[in-house]
Chains A and B, each alone.
Chain A
Amino acid sequence: MNLTLKIWRQSGPDDKGGIHTYQVSGISQDMSFLEMLDVLNEQLNEKGEEPVAFDSDCREGICGMCSLMINGEAHGPEVTTTCQLHMRSFNDGDTITIEPWRAEPFPVIKDLVVDRSAFDRIIQSGGFVSANTGSAPEANSVPAPRDKAMRAFNVATCIGCGACVAACPNGSASLFVGAKITHLGELPQGQPERWTRVVDMVGQHDHEGFGGCTNIGECAAACPKEIPLDVISQLNKDLRTALANGH
């Protein structure tokens, strides 16, 4: 395959940045999208041009490090992470536009690399169960209903990549917060802190500059782990209950 790549280049946080156009050839359908960028970078290195900076680590769709807007879609045309997107989803001769996540709370560090530490700070504000090491009771002493445990697991698969934010016209991280609220809220262990957790996490979310949810649903459509939109309903429900009870 031969491709035209229009890639966002930005030398640092203060640089204005802009789109640069590159040609790559010899791309096979079995390559992942990031392997295609590896090929480009090897070519740039040979030509003496600085390679394009982009984030990736596990390259098996679980660490959440990769983060590209591909033709205007977070992680590109398939429901998966950028690292698990393969070139068989594109055609020979395509022009592909590649940009970083766009959201004020995710400032660009360089080229396609953004700073997502806001997510860590949201977790710090309450996305945990306070259980010091050594204090745990016997694991089977508190059964957890299977359907609730399954729902908890399904939403706990969030990889914190930020695609939901990048996809949202309002830059909201409600899907990310809702997933954590639902994960911990469905389990018996998460109950004692349930109401303070939702108030604190939403407060931190807003403080970081993420927008409110406007029920568009782009987040769930872009989520590589298919976190369902109803976690935002759960978030709102828990928040309402918490506030009504004076938390």
Chain B
Amino acid sequence: MAGSTLHDGLTPLNEPSVQKSDDAHGYYTLGENIVDPVAPTGPIADRWTTRKFENRLVNPANRRKLDVIIVGTGLAGGAAAATLGEAGYNVKSFCYQDSPRRAHSIAAQGGINAAKNYKEDGDSTFRLFYDTVKGGDYRSRESNVYRLAEVSANIIDQCVAQGVPFARDYGGLLDNRSFGGVQVSRTFYARGQTGQQLLIGAYQAMERQVAAGTVQSFTRHEMLELIVVDDGTGPRARGIIARDMVSGEIETHLADVVVLATGGYGNVFFLSTNAMGSNVTAAWRAHRKGAYMANPCYTQIHPTCIPVSGEHQSKLTLMSESLRNDGRIWVPKKKEDCDKDPRDIPEEDRDYYLERIYPSFGNLVPRDIASRQAKNMCDEGRGVGPMVGDFRRGVYLDFADAIKRLGKDAIEEKYDNLLDMYERITGENPYEVPMRIYPAVHYVMGGLWVDYHLQSNVPGLFVSGEANFSDHGANRLGASALMQGLADGYFVLPNTIREYLADGPFEKIDESHPAVVEAKQNVEDRVAKFLSINGTRSADSYHKELGNIMWEYCGMERTEEGLRKAIDLIRELKADFWSNLKVLGSADTLNQSLEKAGRVADFIELGELMCIDALNRRESCGGHFRGESQTEDGEALRHDDEFAYVAAWEWGGDSLEGGQPVLHKEDLIYTAIEMKQRSYK
């Protein structure tokens, strides 16, 4: 933080931006600017405390009369279900998996950040806040991020109390490590399975509430529509239409408030580190019902994944970037060495390119930089591993030095399960041969637009965790996804949703309400449509094609020309999908092809919007790199004067019928941190 000044949050430090370029002209309509209607003011450190006090309370006796639907059971959804259940609300929880314990938060490996400063190495709430805003390339809302940093310490307390077995030192106290682009040790971990342990903690807390009768758990249920009802006070989210994936029954579930904690949409790229079932449908259905989708193009490409091995691949596997703490990344200096056994390449012929380009951060530069540099090395023809298509897509991550320095046992204790997993997938032993890694889509910072209360622009629809856009700006730091999911679920949502529910219970509605009937009919028609097209191609084949388009043109580097091409290709793909899809089986049993068809249909529409958003944003920030906006030495170049805003997109109808999304801008005004061009050199 050298050179930066502490600001109190009382004075704006920047002017609203004015966009001069208009690359996406013709693809969108410009709408009114928006503001966060519940944005807090005052000294940054006091905002959350003040807001918790200002938000109204709900009398315990009234809570059980209030129905809360929570879709998704990952860290954000599971934690919210447990907490709201404990508070006495009547919670209905939904997940598409066979158990809430399987949500994809479980796969997070590395750790969870918290500003505990147990290492006395200079950490603080303000530093975690600062690092997160800076890491997000100044495209997040500072009030939200400050709150995230502020509640981070409570998360660790809560998880330990639940019996989460974090790593401990010999004195029995909690251990920390430094992680992913920060210089303090604030990451708590449970070997390489931190997400699993945190999720099981939340899952157990939630199941405890199931036993207590405050939470009803609907597994193998997929939300297919949001119910929005106007009771005379304006439209409100009042429930969902869900399909029981076992019986095929289309069910109506009504409530006073709906929470989407449905995760991210990285599977729009087909190949990603997300679970097979991770999808955008719940969020996209809400978007089509009026909820704004914010910054959809902000995608995080994770630098340390196992490279693609062939055409058949169904998913990519991440290796925790904690590996970058001890592993050194390199490629051969000479192209002709690329197919040699790496152990035969002498030290002087190796290019430890991150250490060379970024001497102060070295292998610990943020994810987007590490990813893009890996791509650059491979584009230069210095990639390693098998040829995929016409070039090698891989760089070495080498543990030889660390094994020499720390001993094999120490490395084993820290990373054993990761190194085992690598060996299982590739058939190579990483203790002997350097690992090969390549970037893969991992996380999306974009998501449904929410205010400071995590409420979307549709009243009564709250969005938490990865599904919202709020905390990570244009790029997320390592070990911050788990932090945000649990912050939202345990501490934020329960304190903001009460302000909304204090006005409830809302007018009683039942399944005969016209808005409910219509929502259900739409779902039934759509299911029938998928089964009746009777074309020749599987949903999976469309998904793969969409993924290829997105990776090629809306992946690590985006250009005006490429994005225009992608939009055309996606529109063609969409038209073909709706005329040539083939889904076998029936609607009234478990039908995985049918489930897939619905998800792919929504991914196609989302992909189009992502490309439009990326096309409009003619700047490079965080995970969004526009070829037209870089410095002379190829670093990302932001344009704060034009793009320091959140792009919140309103559904404007199907593009095949002439519809265009409507762009609403929310200016980002900083009062505690000054925007600076990022430098990790």
Residues in B neighbouring A123, C-beta threshold 8 A = 203-204, 207
A residues 53-81 near B (Cβ < 8 Å) are 53, 55-65, 78, 80
B residues 473-530 near A (Cβ < 8 Å) are 490-491, 494
Per-position 1/0 for A105-141, Cβ under 8 A of B: 0000110010111011001110111111111111110
Return A173 CB to nearest CB of chain B, in Å. 14
A146 touches B168 (CB 8 A): yes
The answer, yes or no, to whether A31 is at the interface (CB within 8 Å) is: yes
The answer, yes or no, to whether A240 is at the interface (CB within 8 Å) is: no
B residues 125-179 near A (Cβ < 8 Å) are 154, 156-163, 165-174
- A59-B314 CB under 8 A given contacts A146-B170, A160-B101: yes
The answer, yes or no, to whether B427 is at the interface (CB within 8 Å) is: yes
Closest B residue to A186 by CB, please name it: B165
B residues 304-325 near A (Cβ < 8 Å) are 309-310, 312-315, 317-318
A45 touches B538 (CB 8 A): yes
Return A38 CB to nearest CB of chain B, in Å. 6
Bound complex: CA A117 to CA B158 (Å) = 27
The answer, yes or no, to whether A98 is at the interface (CB within 8 Å) is: no
Per-position 1/0 for B383-403, Cβ under 8 A of A: 000000000000000000000
B200 touches A156 (CB 8 A): yes
Bound complex: CA A149 to CA B191 (Å) = 12
The answer, yes or no, to whether A183 is at the interface (CB within 8 Å) is: yes
Return A84 CB to nearest CB of chain B, in Å. 5
Return B265 CB to nearest CB of chain A, in Å. 16
B211 touches A59 (CB 8 A): no
The answer, yes or no, to whether A103 is at the interface (CB within 8 Å) is: no
B residues 258-314 near A (Cβ < 8 Å) are 273, 275-277, 309-310, 312-314
The answer, yes or no, to whether B63 is at the interface (CB within 8 Å) is: no
Residues in A neighbouring B82, C-beta threshold 8 A = 133
Residues in A neighbouring B197, C-beta threshold 8 A = 153, 156
Contact of B161 among A38, A113, A125, A129 (CB under 8 A): A129
Residues in A neighbouring B314, C-beta threshold 8 A = 32, 34-35, 38, 59
Return A75 CB to nearest CB of chain B, in Å. 12
Mark the stretch among B341-349, B583-591, B633-641 that contacts chain A: B583-591
Bound complex: CA A195 to CA B166 (Å) = 23
- A133-B86 CB under 8 A given contacts A39-B312, A123-B203, A153-B190: yes
B97 touches A60 (CB 8 A): no
- A157-B172 CB under 8 A given contacts A120-B100, A124-B211: no
Bound complex: CA A28 to CA B310 (Å) = 9
A124 touches B208 (CB 8 A): yes
The answer, yes or no, to whether B618 is at the interface (CB within 8 Å) is: no
Bound complex: CA A174 to CA B204 (Å) = 18
Bound complex: CA A38 to CA B169 (Å) = 44
Residues in A neighbouring B100, C-beta threshold 8 A = 120
Closest B residue to A151 by CB, please name it: B165
The answer, yes or no, to whether A94 is at the interface (CB within 8 Å) is: no
Return A85 CB to nearest CB of chain B, in Å. 8
How many of A's residues come within 8 Å of B, CB to CB?
76
Contact of A57 among B162, B275, B541, B584 (CB under 8 A): B275
Number of A-B residue pairs having CB atoms within 8 Å of each other in the complex: 215
Residues in A neighbouring B106, C-beta threshold 8 A = 58, 62-63
Bound complex: CA A133 to CA B210 (Å) = 16
Bound complex: CA A138 to CA B156 (Å) = 8
B98 touches A127 (CB 8 A): no
- A129-B204 CB under 8 A given contacts A57-B97, A153-B165: yes
A48 touches B172 (CB 8 A): no
Contact of A48 among B160, B541, B584 (CB under 8 A): B584
B107 touches A63 (CB 8 A): yes
- Chain A interface mostly: loop
B83 touches A84 (CB 8 A): no
Return A172 CB to nearest CB of chain B, in Å. 19
The answer, yes or no, to whether B404 is at the interface (CB within 8 Å) is: no
The answer, yes or no, to whether B55 is at the interface (CB within 8 Å) is: no
Return B149 CB to nearest CB of chain A, in Å. 17
B196 touches A157 (CB 8 A): yes
Residues in A neighbouring B101, C-beta threshold 8 A = 64, 120, 160
B98 touches A116 (CB 8 A): yes
The answer, yes or no, to whether B532 is at the interface (CB within 8 Å) is: no
Return A139 CB to nearest CB of chain B, in Å. 4
The answer, yes or no, to whether A6 is at the interface (CB within 8 Å) is: no
Return B27 CB to nearest CB of chain A, in Å. 34
Per-position 1/0 for A33-58, Cβ under 8 A of B: 01100110010011011110101111
Bound complex: CA A105 to CA B157 (Å) = 36
B172 touches A143 (CB 8 A): yes
Could you list some 23 contacts between A and B, CB below 8 A?
Answer: A30-B427, A35-B314, A38-B314, A42-B540, A51-B585, A53-B590, A58-B102, A60-B315, A63-B106, A64-B99, A84-B421, A110-B590, A120-B99, A124-B207, A127-B207, A134-B158, A137-B157, A142-B160, A153-B167, A157-B193, A157-B196, A160-B102, A189-B160
Could you list which residues of chain B lie within 8 angstroms of chain A, going by C-beta atoms?
79, 82-83, 86, 97-104, 106-107, 116, 118, 154, 156-163, 165-174, 190-191, 193, 195-197, 200, 203-205, 207-208, 210-211, 217, 219, 246, 273, 275-277, 309-310, 312-315, 317-318, 421, 424-425, 427, 490-491, 494, 538, 540-541, 582, 584-585, 589-593
Task: Please name the 6 residue pairs, one residue from A and one from B, whose CB atoms are nearest each other, closest first.
Answer: A143-B172, A136-B161, A128-B204, A153-B165, A131-B161, A136-B157
Could you list which residues of chain A lie within 8 angstroms of chain B, going by C-beta atoms?
11-12, 28, 30-32, 34-35, 38-39, 42, 45-46, 48-51, 53, 55-65, 78, 80, 84, 86, 88, 109-110, 113, 115-117, 119-120, 123-125, 127-140, 142-146, 149, 152-153, 156-157, 159-160, 183-184, 187, 189-190
Known: A133-B86, A144-B172, A156-B200. 11 other contacts (CB 8 A): A42-B538, A49-B584, A58-B275, A59-B315, A109-B246, A120-B219, A137-B157, A140-B173, A146-B172, A149-B165, A153-B191
